[in-house]
Amino acid sequence: MSSRAASAIEHARRSVMNYVGGRFVASARRFPNIHPVDGSVYSDVCEADRALVDEAVESARRALQGPWGRTSVEERQRLLRRISEIMDRRFEDFLAAEVADTGKPAKLARSLDVPRGAANFRAFADLLPSYPLECFEQATEDGAGALNYAVRRPVGVVGVICPWNLPLLLLTWKTAPALACGNTVVAKPSEETPGTAALLAEVMHEAQLPPGVFNVINGFGEGSAGEWLATHPGIDAITFTGESETGSRIMRAAAANVKALSFELGGKNAAVIFADADFEKAVAGTARSTFMNCGQVCLCSERVYVQRPTFERFVEAMREKAEQLVLGRPFEATTTTGPLISAQHRDKVLSYYALARGEGAEIVTGGGVPEFGDERDRGFFIEPTILTGLANGARCMQEEIFGPVCHITPFDEEEEAVALANDSRYGLAAALWTRDLSRAHRVARRLEAGIVWVNTWFLRDLRTPFGGMKLSGFGREGGRHSLDFFSEHTNICIKL
């Protein structure tokens, strides 16, 4: 290990502090940050009490009313670029913290989470100057007309509440456009993964963001920092990514103060593989969309529908892929798959493996917990699993499991595939594998999902709308959709 990597790991082991009003704030009350690879306590986390949450919201409000609220697009653009440059420079620190928090393979964090963290700031810096003003000429009875144009201002103090699966990627995905639009932010990372948020606070500090513009408070959901933020009368908007049920609770909590909400919630995503698809690419793509990050990506395919002529061969090829995965330590070159995030989450996924058996599924491979005979046995590893034989109405086919598991179902006709894929209360993402261009267009627009990938998966252009329908949330983030959410629009109508 290089000395840079070793010092990054040392850095990640320090106590995780809150960041409020431009100061790093410790607290007497602490909770442990557990490393999912071996269950050890990696660091301790300073928990924010209610008074500190209040202070964070107040300092965000003060910052909004100060010079920050009057910064120009160019100044904010410069600042976002500076943040991304510091993140690039501290790449190894972010990598160490992301890996310590989640146990994911370093290879994955190196190619996805850490570069996306910095890219999110660059993307919104690039977008800002070309964000157009809406303008309409209107005819009037006197013939002189009127001109309408909409100006924008920040929404205000934004609460950013994030989950644990892609902690850095999602925190920056929300924070970058919020700051781009001139808002101030109070962020609450997941209690499971506080490390990269603390580092982002260090980056903001070094970038000389005015005190109070970006704050981080650590804690839990109910009866803790999450709930206090969601119910806080000083918060103007909340952007939340997490479970659908939590979203529904936050929605109720936010109703009292009529806050603007943007929700990216759970998924039970379908992959539809037609017999004409490039078989090898479809198998590799579906293995990736099922097992990436140990299945802990909201976009992962948990329901796979395969056209009958290739069904048996596809199941067998997926079994081989699952069995080739190497469950291991994050920095080992051969590791493809890390553990689940926590003992509690593993219990949940295992309860679905048991339920699948009870519902009459065939376990093609996996279904249990691996044994290593070393420290990993104290971690939260679980076997990648493939199921067949369930009806679409089974609970394992309808409820989000969020682990390295998919169920594979055969279908005969296109119409049937569309009906099966849409038979879900969720509507986040879908993957479609076919070489028939007409079918690709036809089926893609009929799938009830906010994002449809054709012959690929999780290929992201940050200008595009991202979000879900049904239980998967509402509102879209990405490109101008984020800029719209994080802006208050005032239409000015001038009678000519």
Kindly list the residues in this chain that would bind ligand 6OD in the complex (CB under 6 A): 165-166, 170, 173, 297-299, 460, 466
As measured in angstroms, the least distance from the Cβ of 110 to ligand NAD is: 20
Q: How far is the CB of 476 from ligand NAD (least distance, A)?
A: 11
264 is catalytic: yes
Tell which residue, 291, 279, 217, has the closest CA to residue 52.
217
Considering only residues 27, 120, 218, 241, which one is a binding residue for ligand NAD as defined by CB under 6 A?
241
Catalytic option among 92, 227, 264, 477: 264
Give the residue at shortest CB distance from ligand 6OD: 298
When asked if residue 338 is in the footprint of ligand NAD (CB under 6 A), the reply is: no
- CA pair distance 418, 449, nearest whole angstrom: 11
Region from 16-24, 208-216, 239-247, 378-386 binding ligand NAD, contact rule CB under 6 A: 239-247
Smallest separation, CB 36 to ligand 6OD (Å): 16
CB count within 10 Å of CB 120 equals 27
Q: How far is the CB of 107 from ligand NAD (least distance, A)?
A: 20
242 binds ligand NAD (CB under 6 A): yes
Buried b (16+ CB within 10 A) or exposed e, 391-408: eeebebbbbbbbbbbbbb
Q: Which does 460 bind (CB under 5 to 8 A by kind): ligand NAD, ligand 6OD, none?
A: ligand 6OD
Least CB distance to ligand NAD at residue 369 (A): 20
Give the C-alpha separation, 316 to 300, whole Å. 20
Phi, psi values for residue 264, rounded to 5°:
-110, 110
Nearest to ligand NAD of 92, 477 (CB atom): 477
Question: What residue is closest to ligand NAD based on CB?
Answer: 221
- The identity of residue 311, as a single letter, is F
Spell out the alpha helix ranges (H) of 239-361. 244-255, 279-291, 311-324, 343-358
Nearest residue (CB) to ligand 6OD, 116 versus 321:
116
Q: Is residue 79 a contact point for ligand NAD (CB under 6 A)?
A: no
- Nearest CA to 162 out of 81, 99, 225 is that of 225
**Count, residues in the chain:** 496
Q: Which of 298, 300, 396, 406 is catalytic?
A: 298
113 binds, among ligand NAD, ligand 6OD, none (CB under 5 to 8 A by kind): none
Sheet holding 135-138, edge to edge: 135-138, 146-154, 487-495
* Sites for ligand NAD among residues 461-490 (CB under 6 A): 468, 472-473
Contact in structure between 33 and 47 (CB atoms under 8 Å): no
Residue 479 interacting partner from ligand 6OD, ligand NAD, none (CB closer than 5 to 8 Å by kind):
none
Q: Please give the single-letter amino acid code of residue 412.
A: D
Q: Which of 20, 83, 22, 24 is nearest to 53 (CA)?
A: 20
Taking CB under 6 A as the rule, does residue 103 contact ligand NAD?
no
Figure out which of the listed residues 18, 59, 77, 165 binds ligand NAD, where binding follows CB under 6 A.
Answer: 165
**Which is nearest to 346 in space by CA: 382, 322, 374, 373?**
382
Contacts of 48 (CB under 8 A, 6+ apart): 18, 20, 25, 27, 56, 217, 218, 219, 225
Give the residue numbers marked as catalytic. 264, 298
* Residues contributing to the site for ligand NAD (CB under 6 A): 161-165, 188, 190-191, 220-222, 226-227, 230, 241-243, 246, 249-250, 264-267, 298, 400, 402, 428, 468, 472-473
